[in-house]
Amino acid sequence: MKKLLSYLLLVSATAVFAQNGDLQAEYQAIESKVIDWRHDIHQHPELSNREFQTAEKIAAHLKSLGIEVQTGVAHTGVVGILKGDGQGKVIALRADIDALPVRERNDLPFKSEVTAEFLGEEVGVMHACGHDTHTAILMGVAEILSKHTDKINGTVKFIFQPAEEGPPPGEEGGALLMVKEGVLKNPDVDAIFGLHINSQTPVGTIQYKSGGAMAAAQEFTIQVKGKQSHGSQPWSGVDPILISAKIIDGLQTIISREAELTNEAAVITVGKIKSGVRFNIIPESAEMIGTIRTLDYGMKDLINRRMQEMVTGIARAYNGEATLTIRDATDITYNNPELVEQMLPTLRRVAGEQNVQNSKAVTGAEDFSYYQREVPGFFFRLGGMTPGNTESFPHHTPDFKIDDDGMLLGVKAMTELTLDYLGSGQ
C-alpha cells in the first residue's frame, strides 16, 4: 500500500511539475542522495552547540559545490553564499541541525545509538524533531541551485543553524546568536524561508498560516516571600504556599477573562512549584516557574503587564511579597502576509493546490522567529507521515519517525521558492 501511495504521489508531482521539466530529472536524481544524507545525520546526532561533525559534513558538501562557505557562525553554524549570474535580491534559506537528549526507541536500520552528557547526566541523543531531514533537504537544494546560477538573479544564503532547541544553560546560541553575529548582513537578506517537517501531517502536503503561525515562548519565574511560622499557628506567619495558590488561580483569569481568545490562542502554564520542607512548618518562601505562549504582540504585552500587576497585587493582598521575572525564549513565528501571498502560487504549483492547506496556529515555538523579526519570512510545515498511517508519534518522543518520501517535496518547494522569488523567469 505504501509503495502504491508513493507511486501515485510521484505521478501527481510529475504532472504538477511538467512546466519545469528541465529540473525534474535533477529532482528525481537528488532524492536518493538526500535520503542517504538524512540517514547518516540521523545515525550520528549531536546536541545543541555541539554539532561539530554535522557542521563539517555540511561545509564539505557546500565547498564541493563551489559555494562560498563560512563556518563557526554562532559556535557551530555553517553559512553558504551562492551568487547568481544576474543581479537581484538576497534570499536566505534556513535549516536547523541540532538533535535532542532523547533515547531512540524504534527499529530503524539507521537508529541512533549515540549518548552524550546533558545537564550532568548521560542521555541518549536523537533527531526526535526532524532536523536531520531539514539539513538534508537544504543540502539537496544547494546542490541543485549551484548548477543553475544562470536561473538566479541575486544571491542565495544557505543558513545551517545550530541550537534551535535552545543552547545549554549559560551559553548563547541558536537563531538569536546568528542574527547577533550578522548572518542576515553582508549581503543584506531581503526575505527568508524555512520549513519544518511534521510527523503527523501526510506526505505530499504543505501547511501554512499567514501572520502568527507559531507562538512566542516566554519563561517566567515567580518568587514569593512570606513569613515562616509553626503550622499550628498560621496567624503568626504569612503563608507563601497559599499566596502561590491564589497567584496561580489569578493568572488563569487573565486567559479566561481578559485575553481575546477569538483573536488568537494564549496559554499561561505553571510547570513547577517548590516550597517548604516539613509538614508542620509554614515556610518563608516559594518559587514557581512556567511558560507563556502568545501569537499576537498586543496580547503578549497585555498578558505580561497583567501578570506583573496580579503577581505583586495578590501577594500584597495576603501580606506577602512577590516578584515576577519573564524571559523571552522565542518570538512569534510571524509569516509576513505580503510574502505569503506572493509565494503561495509557487507552493500550490509544486505540491498541487489541494495539497497546500491553510492551517490554524499552533502554540509550539520556533526560533526561526528571530530572523522574521529582522526581515520578512515565510515558515511552513511539510508532511512527513506515511499516507494512511494510523499510528504516528509526536515530535520530541523516543518513537518519532519520518517517512523519507516526504523530503523530495521539501527540496522542490525550497528550490522553486528561491527561483520564483529571485525572478528566474521560470
In terms of Cα–Cα distance, which of 364, 8, 391 is closest to 207?
364
Report the amino acid identity of residue 340.
Answer: V
Q: Average pLDDT in the 289-302 region?
A: 95
What would the mean pLDDT of 246-258 be, rounded to a whole number?
98
Residues of the chain with pLDDT > 90, as a percent, come to 91
Rounded to whole angstroms, what are the CA distances from 58 to 37, 51, 97, 287? 10, 11, 10, 43
Q: Are residues 184 and 234 in the same domain?
A: no
- My answer on whether 385 and 348 are in the same domain is yes
**pLDDT recorded at residue 12:** 44
134 and 11 fall within a common domain: yes
pLDDT, tens digit (0-9, with 9 covering 90-100), for 164-186: 999 998 999 999 999 999 999 99
SS3 category, 333 = strand
How would DSSP label each residue in 312-332?
Answer: HHHHHHTT-EEEEEEEEEE--
- Whether 77 and 192 map to the same domain: the answer is yes
pLDDT tens profile 97-149 = 999 999 999 999 999 999 999 989 999 999 999 999 999 999 999 999 999 99
For residue 161, give Cα distances in angstroms to 235, 244, 344, 406: 56, 39, 25, 21
Query: Does 256 reside within a domain?
Result: yes
**Is residue 12 domain-shared with residue 54, that is, in the same domain?**
yes
Over residues 183-210, mean pLDDT:
97
Examine residue 251 and state whether it is found in any structural domain, yes or no.
yes
122 in a structural domain: yes
Which residue do the cell numbers 518520501 mark?
Answer: 405
Q: What is the CATH number of the domain that holds 289?
A: 3.30.70.360
CATH number of the domain that residue 135 is part of? 3.40.630.10
User: Strands, DSSP E only, in 215-331?
Assistant: 216-225, 229-230, 266-275, 281-282, 285-294, 321-330
Instruction: Choose the final residue of a domain: 313, 330, 347.
Output: 330
Asked if residue 139 belongs to a domain, the reply is yes
Backbone angles phi, psi at 221, to 5 degrees: -130, 135
Residues 48 and 21 in one domain: yes
| Catalytic residue IDs | 98, 164
| Residue 286 shares a structural domain with residue 351 | no
User: Quick one: pLDDT at residue 275?
Assistant: 98
Tell me, yes or no, whether 269 lies in a domain: yes
Q: Are residues 273 and 348 in the same domain?
A: no
Longest dimension (CA), the chain: 83
**426 assigned to some structural domain:** no
* Residue finishing a domain among 272, 300, 330: 330
| pLDDT (0 to 100) of residue 390 | 76
Res 375: pLDDT = 98
Q: What is the pLDDT of residue 22?
A: 77
Same domain, 326 and 350: no
Distance, in Å, from the CA atom of 39 to the CA atom of 251, rounded to the nearest integer, reads: 45
pLDDT tens for residues 386-405? 988 878 999 999 999 999 99
**What pLDDT, in 10s, does the model give residues 25-57?**
999 999 999 999 999 999 999 999 999 999 999
Q: How many domains is the chain built from?
A: 2
Residues 161, 69 share a domain: yes
Query: Which among 283, 300, 330 is the end of a domain?
Result: 330
The chain-wide mean pLDDT, for the chain, equals 94
Instruction: Locate 290 and state its grid cell.
Output: 512556567
Which contacts of 142-145 are long-range, i.e. CB under 8 A and separated by 24 or more positions? 142/61, 142/62, 142/65, 142/67, 142/80, 142/82, 143/30, 143/33, 143/61, 143/65, 144/23, 144/26, 144/27, 144/30, 144/411, 144/415, 145/82, 145/415, 145/418, 145/419
249-261 mean pLDDT: 97
Among the listed residues 268, 106, 77, the one whose alpha carbon sits nearest the alpha carbon of residue 181: 77
Q: What pLDDT was estimated at residue 21? A: 56
Give the pLDDT score at 2: 44
Over residues 192-210, the mean pLDDT reads 97
Residue-number span of the structural domain to which 410 is assigned: 2-215+332-421
Are 206 and 340 spatial neighbours (Cβ–Cβ below 8 Å)? Answer: no
Predicted confidence (pLDDT) at residue 19 exceeds the cutoff of 90: no
**Side chain identity, residue 401:** K
Secondary structure (3-state) at 95 = strand
Pairing mode, strands 356-358 and 206-208: parallel
Per-residue pLDDT at 307 exceeds 80: yes
| Cα gap 402→199, rounded to integer Å | 6
pLDDT at 14: 42
Residues 189 and 318 grouped into a single domain: no
pLDDT digits (tens, 9 = 90+) for 351-369: 999 999 999 999 999 999 9
Annotate 206-219 with DSSP letters as a single string: EEE-SEEEE-EEEE
Same domain for 318 and 292: yes
